[in-house]
Amino acid sequence: MSVWAVIDFETTGLSPTHGAKPTEIGICLVEDGRIVDRYQSLMNPGVSIPFKIQQLTGITDSMLKKAPSVSTVMNEAADFVADFPLLAHNASFDRKFWEFELKILKRKSRNDLACSLLLSRRLFPELMDHRLETLVNLFQLPVRGSCHRAMADAECTAHLFLRIKDEIRRRFNLVSVNHELLIAIQSAKKHNLHQCIREFSGVS
């Protein structure tokens, strides 16, 4: 059975290339339809958190003074994830920070990222928006912790991921869903979704 690592970052801003740094990471390992392990840590970014982001996440500068360094946490996170495929909600955001920080550590990311946001757009195009909070409420998924905290959002994304996998299996009569199929679905044009599924229908 495949294992996925579902990740979520909280950060000081939108882009690491413009000086933003991660402040927290949450990771859930998902296997056989359930969360089997977790990793979470605050990290000291070495820069101040803008007030608006402190209000959004609840993470303050004072909370991070004694937190481990970004390099320490990212090394631990990379060891925890190992070679498992990654998934995140709005993965383009998390990918930037994941790859940027690993590059600083001279560690190469070998993990392709699937995106539950893109997958939900392909599978549920009729929805007005595909924000994580919207989808969690729509599908009545389990919620533990505060929104915009890394572990809480990673757990919500993990439950959403399992819901999406079940939807793909049910809708297209598949025995199983692998990471390559998820990447293909999120990259497919909306009108080519069925063709994409047919091409992968023999992949377990």
Domain boundaries, the chain: 3-171
**Confidence (pLDDT) at 110:** 74
pTM: 0.94
Written out in words, the top-level CATH class of the domain with range 3-171 is alpha beta
Token pair for 65? 């003074």
Is the Cβ–Cβ distance between 149 and 24 less than 8 Å?
yes
Please check the confidence at residue 144 and state whether its pLDDT lies above 70: yes
Strand partners of residue 97: none
Please check the confidence at residue 204 and state whether its pLDDT lies above 70: no
Mean pLDDT over all residues of the chain?
93
**Amino acid letter, residue 161:** F
**Confidence (pLDDT) at 115:** 98
Is the Cβ–Cβ distance between 179 and 2 less than 8 Å?
yes
Across the range 27-49, mean pLDDT stands at 97
Please check the confidence at residue 185 and state whether its pLDDT lies above 70: yes
**Confidence (pLDDT) at 138:** 95
Provide the phi-psi class of 146: left if phi over 0, else alpha when psi is between -120 and 50, else beta.
Answer: beta
